[in-house]
Structure 1
Amino acid sequence: MSNKATHSPDTPLYPIREVSRLTGVNSVTLRAWERRYGLIRPQRTPKGHRLYAQDDISRIERILQWLNRGVPVSQVVDLLDQPETIEAPMPDAGDWESQVNQLQGVIEALDMPRLEALYHQSLALYPMSVMVNELWHPVIKRLEAKWVDEPDELVRRTLETFLRSQVGIRLHYANQATRGPLILLNTMPDDPGPMWMLLIALMASEQGYRIQILDHTLALEALPQAVSRLHCSMVLLCSGQREQDDYYREALPIAAEALNVPLGVCGEVARLRDHDLRRSPVHVLGDDIPQAVARLRPLLRETGVF
């Protein structure tokens, strides 16, 4: 099969930056899909610049549909020219399982060059929501479950340091490139590290929010001053733990009432404490990271912040 573009001379063509804007797929990923898998084949100008026609854009949208249904990118090429009604294949213990196993093994082996390569590869090949949901989130959940019975502080702290560095670099440049609302992200007292917070920061930054991360848990009574001095539009607290009863039933609702911006919670704690917070002023955003971030925009509009 060849999907090389053969468009008529009067077909409208779009540069890669415009296609990225229209589809939400960054240019690095578009290039990776072309070079590594041959998923798209745009035309080229005499100077080598990529130009995409409308059918290329439609093809990209179909790729996204398959990826969002849990199909790994390596399997998408065989599905693109199938009838629209074809059912998504069962995720093939596929590719995702092997990728999760591979990433977990590299982390536990402390193979930092390979870990950096896999991190950048995952960012290049997949939209952020897919990369987080299908790869990094499952790996971190597995590791945290394992560490309950078999603590490994060296692996945990090494992974946290790696993610803090990589995500921090990305946030630095992303914050400079957007004027979106500023979200203050912080962990909760019982969370042993920032990994949930860093994944959420990646996802929220991709959606155009500016992100301010605090490395250490800030006392709830200090949040109003932090919001005022940092000019935040929202406070988002994260945890992979259940947290203490009095923190959720008393301290957190009081803190939410004291703020003039929304206070939300996300991560495993949002699933575990949903019932406790359902009638409180705290906004429960869930443990699905892309869905939690998707809920930010309507929440900020509803409260008049955005």
Structure 2
Amino acid sequence: MVDEEVSEVAHLPIREVARRTGVRAVTLRAWERRYGLLSPARTSKGHRLYSEVEVRRIEKVLTYLARGVAIGQVRELVERGQGNRLCAEINEENGSSWWAMLDETCSLLEDFAEPQLRMRLDQWIAAFPSPLLIEYWLKPLQEKLGRASLSESGVALQFFWQLLNEQLLLANGIARRNLRKNKKTFSHKLCLLGLSGGEQQVFVQMFSAVLLAKGIDTVVFSGQAGSVGLEDLVTELEIDGVLFYSHRALSKHFIHHDLTKLASGLKTRLWLTGDFVDIQYAELAGLRKLVAVSVLSGTTEKAIAQLQGQLG
């Protein structure tokens, strides 16, 4: 009983809740204003304060979203406390919200409906936590676009990846400025690397959003993994380490030459993550033997948990 009473005391600022849950502050505000999912207390100056009860509620919301429940229907599940049964009923009636998002994205892209697509991307980026967007929307979408008739139109795909990258750059810029305003929630700074290309940079920016939500600042570098001067950049910007991300399999030459060269040239730790670490587990054996290299899980949330444990 004492724990329950303590847990109801609102004392956690929104930045701390964002760091603990991985849900960005802008998303927490959207859940409150648009969907009535949260009811934080307010200070005399209007700042939000959350209790442990609210934190547990956020965790429940994340669970339902991961199951494919539409965000507009999550409140009913949380308040009635009959998640498994109602979740199954809602999904059977309406289908997974993730599949609906995939279909809507492809439909808008086929029509080149730029204003509507931009609006929906903005809404989804604000409403859904980045780890869920990566695993349940972005990865399936990339596969679907590769198989669809849109693959015949390089212009359509280039248009989409460029538009999504612009939206993510804007959202991450705001998140980064908010993070740097309060150094108490700014725990570490990493240099985030990825392959070049519109699609690749979208995945890197989405993963950057995940790190920023966890209170880890990022400097996204678009150059090659073995670029001359990268170590100087890391030192000059006081970066704690370098993280390389790729959702695609890499060439053997890139693994054995570029990544090995990158690892040998750094004085900081190098982390590897993305789907490629699971796809090419055996080929990364040599890199795993290097003291300065850590191969994380290819799954976003597991990789973040491992990374946080190693950063301390």
TM-score, normalised to structure 1, is 0.75
The reply to whether residue 214 of structure 1 matches residue 221 of structure 2 is yes
2:100 — aligned with what? 98
User: 1:117 offset after TM fit, Å?
Assistant: 1.4
Query: Could you tell me which of 136, 139, 155 is aligned with 2:138?
Result: 136
1:228 — aligned with what? 235
> Does the Cα contact within 8 Å between 1:37 and 1:74 map onto a contact in 2?
yes
Task: Return closer, same or farther for 1:15/1:272 CA change in 2, 3 Å cut-off.
Answer: closer
> Does the Cα contact within 8 Å between 2:245 and 2:272 map onto a contact in 1?
yes
Corresponding residue SS for 1:227: helix
Where do 4+ consecutive residues of structure 1 move more than 6 Å?
42-54, 189-192
User: 1:96 offset after TM fit, Å?
Assistant: 1.8
Query: Which deviates more from structure 2 when the two are superposed, residues 272-281 or residues 283-292?
Result: 283-292
> Does the Cα contact within 8 Å between 1:263 and 1:283 map onto a contact in 2?
yes
Q: Partner letter of residue 300 of structure 2?
A: I
Aligned counterparts of 1:256 and 1:20: Cα–Cα separation in 2: 34
Aligned counterparts of 1:271 and 1:166: Cα–Cα separation in 2: 29
Aligned counterparts of 2:110 and 2:250: Cα–Cα separation in 1: 27
The reply to whether residue 115 of structure 1 matches residue 106 of structure 2 is no
Query: Which deviates more from structure 2 when the two are superposed, residues 35-44 or residues 117-126?
Result: 35-44
Q: Partner letter of residue 99 of structure 2?
A: E
The reply to whether residue 165 of structure 1 matches residue 172 of structure 2 is no
Could you list the runs of 5+ residues in structure 2 that have no partner in the other structure? 1-7, 181-185
1:150 — aligned with what? 151
The reply to whether residue 32 of structure 1 matches residue 61 of structure 2 is no
Aligned counterparts of 2:275 and 2:59: Cα–Cα separation in 1: 31
User: 1:221 offset after TM fit, Å?
Assistant: 4.9
Query: Could you tell me which of 299, 309, 312 is aligned with 1:288?
Result: 299
Q: Partner letter of residue 301 of structure 2?
A: P
User: 1:145 offset after TM fit, Å?
Assistant: 5.0
Corresponding residue SS for 2:77: coil
Could you list the runs of 5+ residues in structure 1 that have no partner in the other structure? 1-10, 302-306
The reply to whether residue 76 of structure 1 matches residue 77 of structure 2 is no
> Does the Cα contact within 8 Å between 1:175 and 1:210 map onto a contact in 2?
yes
Higher RCO (CA < 8 A, seq sep 6+): 2
> Equivalent pairs: percent with the same residue?
23
2:193 — aligned with what? 186
Aligned counterparts of 1:49 and 1:199: Cα–Cα separation in 2: 28
Aligned counterparts of 1:224 and 1:25: Cα–Cα separation in 2: 31
User: 1:168 offset after TM fit, Å?
Assistant: 2.2
Corresponding residue SS for 1:110: coil
Aligned counterparts of 2:198 and 2:270: Cα–Cα separation in 1: 18
Q: Partner letter of residue 293 of structure 1?
A: I
TM-score, normalised to structure 2, is 0.74
1:270 — aligned with what? 277
| RMSD after superposition | 3.7
> Does the Cα contact within 8 Å between 2:12 and 2:51 map onto a contact in 1?
no
Higher helix proportion (structure 1 or 2): 2
- Deviation track 1:108-162 (CA, whole Å, cap 9, x = no partner) reads 4332221221122113322332233222332233224558x93432223222322
1:175 — aligned with what? 176
User: 1:229 offset after TM fit, Å?
Assistant: 3.2
